[in-house]
Amino acid sequence: MTSTTAGDVPAIEFKDVVKRFGDNVVLDELNFKVAKGDRVTLIGPSGSGKTTILRLLMTLEELSGGLILIDGDPYTHEYRGDKWVEIPEKRRRVVRNRVGMVFQQFNLFPNMTVLQNIIEAPVHVLGKSKAEATARAEELLEQVGMTEKRDFATNQLSGGQQQRVAIARALAMDPEILLLDEVTSALDPEIVADVLEVLRNIAETTDITMLLVTHEMAFARDVSNRVLMFDHGQIVEEADPETMFTNPSHERTKEFLKAVLG
Amino acid sequence: MNDESIWDWDTAWAVLPDLLQGLVVTVEATVIGMIIASILGLLIALAMRTPTRWVRGPLRFVVDFVRMTPLLVQLVFAWLLLVDIPPLAIGFGVLGVHYATYMSEVYRAGIEAVPPGQWEAATALNLPRGRTWRAIILPQAIKNTLPGLGNYAVSMFKETPFLFAITVVEMYSAAQRFGANTFSYIEPLTMVGLLFLLVSYPTSLLVRRMEIRLA
């Protein structure tokens, strides 16, 4: 795992990011950086803006102000002189290719088989041949333990199986950055471990930069090297997981951890 | 007159070939009308989603206009206006356009019923807009519209007798013609009703089963 070294271009940089929904300010001039290969867990009470950060990074929400840089490249907006302008979709697509996401509700395409779900984007976005994409998909299916479900319809799978396919689907695009949005929250407790095991394996065998929002504190402690505690759209505390979970310094963090860890 | 009953089987058998020929035209009109309605309806639904106001505004007006005026009036109007086009073709076209306005609503609902998560997953995979529509949204939306399509097909089928007004010889006008020549109306018209029922009832049962299966 690489850690933040001065002078390196960060994988992700938020500069004075503002996000409003109507009058509700969710993120208020937020600044933070994520170094390449970092595994960052975002924690904090609901409504603190964690998921919004992931959704902004996936361009599922529009910025209200500020900049997001991926590898130093402006992503959705940039300054031309003093003017804050939107970057057209064509240029966004280039940067978006480096980012992948796994959702709480899996969001597999129900009109496609497991394999079709995985090869759809490699074929139609990356321009891979069907054979090449299929070979890679089979590797990934093996990695997530779903080889025998290759030709199944998605509605024949359990939630945990669907999520493992969704992880394979995201990885098939070879993202530099992987966003994990409460990926185990919709799963029955007994399946959570399987999905976390898959993710742990990916964390150990790749150098993908990961940003995760999770309520699984033990998992966060396991895979992440940095934890950011959010409240009201601001980072209130930042530490390595060991420190954050055993010896938090901020009052708000102590309260929050006490509430979730019991 | 004294031994003449209301129903005469010989008359019924005599008219049957004419009616079956008419039924062919009726089914033809329904199938071609529905094909036009399905394609045009989808195009209308997609055009209604464009952000440009000057596309949506006029289109909305045309759609409402077609929907708020009677099919019969539209048929006769088109027939009087388009003298060079064979009546049957006018019938296909008017039925198709009329039902396209209804089908566009079915498509709109079908498209909106696709969960937002599907769009989000497509964005997360960086799929281009066109590909997202073709490979993900439309296949799911169209599946949602199949029962609506079936219901409108049954209702279009039942409205084909209006083609009588523009001289198309479908089942109902075949019966009228037979009646005018023989002064026997009861048998032909009863059988027209039965033939309609014979086709539309099983079809509607099929549609209902489809609805249950898709629900």
Structurally, how many domains does chain A consist of? 1
A149 falls within a domain: yes
Question: Which of B164, B214, B162, B170 is CA-nearest to residue B192?
Answer: B170
Between A262 and B178, residue with greater pLDDT:
B178
Q: Is the pLDDT of residue B67 over 60?
A: yes
Least CB–CB distance from B126: residue in A96, A110, A169: A96
User: What is the per-residue pLDDT across B4-14, written as a single tens digit (0 to 9) for each?
Assistant: 678 888 888 98
Q: Which two tokens stand for residue A119?
A: 């090869």
| Chains A, B: CB pairs < 8 Å | 56
Q: Is the pLDDT of residue A99 over 50?
A: yes
Cβ–Cβ under 8 Å, residues A235 and A50? no
Check residue B6 and give its pLDDT: 83
Cβ–Cβ under 8 Å, residues B196 and B158? yes
- What band does B51 get if pLDDT is binned at 50, 70 and 90? confident
CATH 1.20.1250.20 fits B9-214, yes or no: no
Contacts of B124 in chain A (CB under 8 A): 58, 60, 99-101, 103, 170
For residue A73, the cross-strand partners are A70
Q: How far apart are the C-alpha atoms of B83 and A187, rounded to whole Å?
A: 66
Check residue B4 and give its pLDDT: 64
Check residue B207 and give its pLDDT: 87
User: What is the per-residue pLDDT across A18-56, written as a single tens digit (0 to 9) for each?
Assistant: 999 999 999 999 999 999 999 999 999 888 889 999 999
Please indicate if any CB of chain B lies within 8 Å of the CB of A123. no
- What band does B1 get if pLDDT is binned at 50, 70 and 90? very low
**How many CB atoms within 10 Å of residue A69?**
18
Cβ distance A109 to B125 less than 8 Å, yes or no, reads no
Q: Which two tokens stand for residue B11?
A: 């008359």
Q: What are phi and psi of B48, to 5 degrees?
A: -70, -15
Percent of chain A with pLDDT over 90: 82
Q: Which of B114, B120, B126, B143 would best serve as a mutation to test chain A binding (most A beta carbons within 10 A)?
A: B126
Parse chain B into domains and list their residue ranges.
Answer: 9-214
3-state secondary structure of B9: helix
User: What is the per-residue pLDDT across A194-211, written as a single tens digit (0 to 9) for each?
Assistant: 899 999 999 999 999 999
Q: Is the pLDDT of residue B2 over 50?
A: no
A119 falls within a domain: yes
Strand A39-43 relative to strand A209-213: parallel, antiparallel, unpaired? parallel
User: What is the per-residue pLDDT across B103-151, written as a single tens digit (0 to 9) for each?
Assistant: 999 999 999 999 999 999 999 999 999 999 999 999 999 988 988 999 9
Q: How far apart are the C-alpha atoms of B164 and B172, rounded to whole Å?
A: 7
User: What is the per-residue pLDDT across A206-233, written as a single tens digit (0 to 9) for each?
Assistant: 999 999 999 888 888 888 999 999 998 8
Give Cβ neighbours of residue A211 (< 8 Å, ≥ 6 apart): A12, A34, A40, A42, A53, A54, A57, A177, A178, A179, A180
Q: How far apart are the C-alpha atoms of B26 and B199, rounded to whole Å?
A: 11
A113 falls within a domain: yes
**How many CB atoms within 10 Å of residue B140?**
17
Q: Is the pLDDT of residue A2 over 80?
A: no
Cβ–Cβ under 8 Å, residues A191 and A220? no
User: What is the per-residue pLDDT across B169-215, written as a single tens digit (0 to 9) for each?
Assistant: 888 989 998 998 888 889 999 999 999 999 999 988 988 888 888 76
Tell me the CA distances in angstroms from B14 to A253, B8, B171, B178, B193, one per residue in order.
91, 10, 14, 9, 17
- For A121, the domain range is 109-174
Cβ distance A60 to B120 less than 8 Å, yes or no, reads yes
Q: Is the pLDDT of residue B98 over 80?
A: yes
Contacts of B131 in chain A (CB under 8 A): 124
Encode B164-202: b = buried (16+ Cβ within 10 Å), e = exposed.
Answer: bbbebbbbbbbbbbbbeeeebeebbbebbeebbeebbee
A127 falls within a domain: yes
- Region A105-119: what's the mean pLDDT? 97
For residue A177, the cross-strand partners are A99, A209
